[in-house]
Amino acid sequence: MSTIYGVGIDVSAKELTVALPGATPESFTNDATGHRAITGLLRQQLRRGEVHVCVEATGNYSLDLCLHLQKTEGLLVMVANPRAVANFAKALMSRSKTDPQDAAVLQAFAERMPFVEWAPPSTTSLELRAAARRLDSLSNMLTRERNRLHAANATKTTNSIVRNDLKSSIKHLEGRAKRLIKTIESFIKTEPSLALSYQRLQTVCGIAERSAIKVLGELLCLPADMTARQCVAHAGLDPRRHESGTSVRRTARISKRGNRYLRAALYMPAVVASQKDPIITVVYQNLISQGKKPMQALVAIMRKLLHAMLAMLKSQTDFDARLLFPHIQVENA
């Protein structure tokens, strides 16, 4: 059995702090030069055993580093969940929070915790996800501006200068969002398999171009072997129970410990489907009649839609609510 040699790398926007067992953490720049220097350092350690590199998930700041390390034979990379790392640090009774200390915690995490090797998504998937998240940002900005205009119109004290500026901003953002959607659709059409998946998702009641882009961008970056249950947890839609002894029985809530982009992208489709799709409407109403609150019923629909979308993309089939809810019989559904 080979020796596991754990390495922890704390990532920030401009600096990378590398912790090796029994050595003082070293700092490198978070750029191509720093990535090459770290790879050279870690290659020297391969003679000691199998090198497990643990990096905390920090979005784009850690992506290029992980892609670079992953290309080096013998270096195995794990992108750890930040919450798991934080809980691990508490178990170690780590009192300080500095870059070297964080790197040391990641180094211990790599050696002591179950190692799950990171599988990098394809370049196309990463590009689509980045564009989809940009579209999500524009949508959020547009919503905020519309809310500001609504608040401004609620009082006569707001002058026309403010109102006109808000209207101009909304029109500008709407134009940018439309142009971005067209650009993304052109990008999707360059790959037949991607275009087909994009069309499949739009067969779901409540999924149009914008929602299909957001959902597809997130799902394509998930590991191919991820189960539906794991995907639900990844989206933070898994139930979180709080029970203790015989007296504490709090209402179960979703964990929200996951991909907020995917969770947000599923919300409006669930709302529309619960109102427009005959079968899903019956399911929603049944959940309400069983005592579920409207949001709880919607979350249940979100989970089911996520299950269906995963199956659709794997089998390349259109959405059929009758397969999702075979026990529901509705005429002309």
Residue type, 188: I
How far is Cα 318 from Cα 332, in angstroms, rounded to an integer?
Answer: 18
Query: Could you tell me which residues are beta bridge partners of residue 17?
Result: 10, 27
Residue 197 lies in a domain: no
Is the domain of 159 the same as that of 180? yes
Residue 216 lies in a domain: no
Residue 275, pLDDT score: 95
Is the domain of 167 the same as that of 105? no
Residue 199 lies in a domain: no
pLDDT tens, residue by residue, 208-267: 999 999 999 999 998 887 888 888 888 888 876 544 455 545 565 666 677 889 999 999
State both tokens at 108. 């211990």
**pLDDT below 70 — which residues of the chain?**
1-2, 240-256, 331-333
| Sequence-separated (6 or more) residues with CB below 8 Å from residue 296 | 287
Residue 73, pLDDT score: 84
Is the domain of 100 the same as that of 166? no
CATH of the domain at 44: 3.30.420.40
Task: Write out the residue range of the structural domain in which residue 72 sits.
Answer: 4-112
Taking the alpha carbons of 301, 303, 305, 307 in that order, is the dihedral positive or negative? negative
| Sequence-separated (6 or more) residues with CB below 8 Å from residue 73 | none
Residue 171 lies in a domain: yes
Dihedral angle of Cα 261, 265, 266, 272, to the nearest 10 degrees: 160
Residue 137 lies in a domain: yes
How far is Cα 229 from Cα 233, in angstroms, rounded to an integer?
Answer: 6
Residue 239, pLDDT score: 74
Residue 151 lies in a domain: yes
Of the residues 78, 112, 146, the one at which a domain ends: 112
Number of domains in the chain: 3
Of the residues 60, 83, 112, the one at which a domain ends: 112
Residue 248, pLDDT score: 44
Is the domain of 98 the same as that of 148? no
| Sequence-separated (6 or more) residues with CB below 8 Å from residue 168 | none
Query: Could you tell me which residues are beta bridge partners of residue 250?
Result: 242
Residue 166, pLDDT score: 97
Is the domain of 13 the same as that of 106? yes
| pTM of the predicted structure, to 2 decimals | 0.82
Is the domain of 235 the same as that of 318? yes
Is the domain of 153 the same as that of 89? no
How far is Cα 311 from Cα 309, in angstroms, rounded to an integer?
Answer: 5
Q: What are phi and psi of 16, to 5 degrees?
A: -120, 130
Residue 154 lies in a domain: yes
Query: Please, are residues 50 and 4 in contact by the beta-carbon 8 Å criterion?
Result: yes
Is the domain of 185 the same as that of 284? no
| Sequence-separated (6 or more) residues with CB below 8 Å from residue 253 | 239, 240
Of the residues 86, 112, 138, the one at which a domain ends: 112
Query: Please, are residues 300 and 288 in contact by the beta-carbon 8 Å criterion?
Result: no
Per-residue HEC secondary structure of 5-22 comes to: EEEEEEECCCEEEEECCC
Residue 176 lies in a domain: yes
Burial class (CB in 10 A: 0-12, 13-18, 19+), 293: exposed
Is the domain of 233 the same as that of 312? yes
Is the domain of 288 the same as that of 262? yes
